[in-house]
Structure 1
């Protein structure tokens, strides 16, 4: 997803205000480009802020992310589609997505464009943040009531298996097997991990997830952000409102979202769990299994980290 020389070439052009025609074609109300500033850089993408002058004299700022190659294209498509799905339910909780596509002058480079916000240094206030998150999760409008998503979404440079499924247990197990497969492709085999997998899939997952869909119970699919750690949430400086971005969404059991909150590194600690719970009746039944389900969901997020950073054995040890 990252050809560094090509990204560098594109970055240099953008910061000279030589913005690709595919981007200028979708910038709303564009009169002139005032400035382009480099933003965050990751191993798989380069971000920019584009300040523009509108045809009627107003000024606006946009966020754009550039990535390279097939996986770069699919990742940015997934980000656009996931953000669009979140925006359709909670437009006050994410940036308005504008466009995604390939650059005209570099066909192997691709972009995602949305509204730009200035963020403060604060963590989101728990009640405002969790009220919006609970509202997002409460929209049970998945196509045909299934778990999955209509395209691949990426957690960093990690493609997720979003194949539609009727059962949450089956969808979760399929997705976890996919993550394990990608981890092995990137990092090589781990006999210790492989020895743990039969019990995980044959005993732990059925024990913790099957009761959610047994004895008359059912899981209604909720749209989750999918990678909701503090680095993908912020406070808008101008308004103080909380906002989320960079999603890797699919329709899931809403509690899946909180697997990423269990590790202390992600800074959404007990006040956030308590604030969220104040907006719902209770955790899913059987409620007594909540903590164990949370540990199971956290296991997948730790495997994401072990796959994204295969050379860092500490993530695998988690």
Structure 2
């Protein structure tokens, strides 16, 4: 649903819109997000489309999306409405949470079997390149180059990082991703949350206790990409979460490359952090350290 909203029409008049201050009554059943400007509009549209896609596959695994649009009396301000949950503390229990995640990833209804998404989605305030691609290697490469450019725009040039990129793109990425789609192997695009770290999960009790996800930045991807965000130490997902997930979604072939594929995927999430927090140099250092390790391990790149 895309619409315009009057000053007092949000969520059944449960909200007072300031538009920056939101008063939350105890009996609230919906939550309202407000954003301003062109990118704010695209971000809320992307969140609505992402949440709608997830909810269509696994109802109850995310807050039910209700609508998004533009305020009638303030065309520069935009809104997104979804079901409200009062979250409990902690990280979702591995078994049931990963079962729901595997159900999401088992959906392979991407248009024409392509990797990408039909609109821009935002990781934080970072627009993602979701342009459709026939191969996962091409899509991942495009997305990684895009976020590298965004990081440089926000944080400035990093010659040490730039010097590592030719080996990454020419050798490491082909070596780790091309085998997924060659030699008789193939992967089907899976719908991913796109920013699945512990801070975008919650525990609800309505009436059963379960873990849910929110604030997605979805696209159709290799399902293992989702796990790249679980690898950084700042996350709170445990080895038990990895094991529970793999009990439903085993490692893709070649399995021997699994650990390094996840490490490769984690580069993009650490680059997101580097772009979101340019003052924190440790994120770029983590990226450079991992590129060096992978480059030393795979100096020859992909061979037939």
TM-score tier (shorter): 0.7 to 0.9
1:316 equivalenced with 2:284 (yes/no): yes
Counterpart among 222, 241, 245 of residue 214 in structure 2: 245
CA deviation profile, 1:214-248 (whole Å, cap 9, x unmatched): 01111100000000000100110343111100001
| Shift in Å, 1:36 | 5.3
Q: Give the aligned CA root-mean-square deviation in angstroms.
A: 2.0
Counterpart among 188, 198, 204 of residue 230 in structure 1: 198
Counterpart among 220, 231, 245 of residue 276 in structure 1: 245
Secondary structure of the structure 2 residue equivalent to 1:102: strand
Q: Where does residue 294 of structure 2 map in the other structure? A: none
Q: Which runs of 5+ in 2 are unaligned?
A: 287-304
C-alpha contact (below 8 Å) 1:37/1:50 kept by paired residues: no
Q: Where does residue 16 of structure 1 map in the other structure? A: none
Q: How does 1:87-236 map to 2 (within 5 A)?
A: 87-236=55-204
C-alpha contact (below 8 Å) 1:226/1:247 kept by paired residues: yes
1:297 equivalenced with 2:265 (yes/no): yes
Aligned residues: 282
Q: Which runs of 5+ in 1 are unaligned?
A: 1-19, 39-44, 53-58
Q: How does 1:26-37 map to 2 (within 5 A)?
A: 27=11, 30=12, 32-33=13-14
**Alpha-carbon distance in 2 for matches of 1:47, 1:240:** 31
1:287 equivalenced with 2:255 (yes/no): yes
After superposing on structure 2, the runs of 4+ consecutive aligned residues of structure 1 that deviate more than 3 Å are 20-27, 35-38, 45-52
C-alpha contact (below 8 Å) 1:49/1:62 kept by paired residues: no
Q: 1:102 to 1:21 in 2, by over 3 A?
A: closer
Q: Where does residue 301 of structure 2 map in the other structure? A: none
Q: 1:79 to 1:47 in 2, by over 3 A?
A: farther
**Alpha-carbon distance in 2 for matches of 1:74, 1:37:** 20
TM-score, length of structure 1 as denominator length:
0.84
| Shift in Å, 1:25 | 4.3
**Alpha-carbon distance in 1 for matches of 2:63, 2:220:** 20
Q: Where does residue 3 of structure 1 map in the other structure? A: none
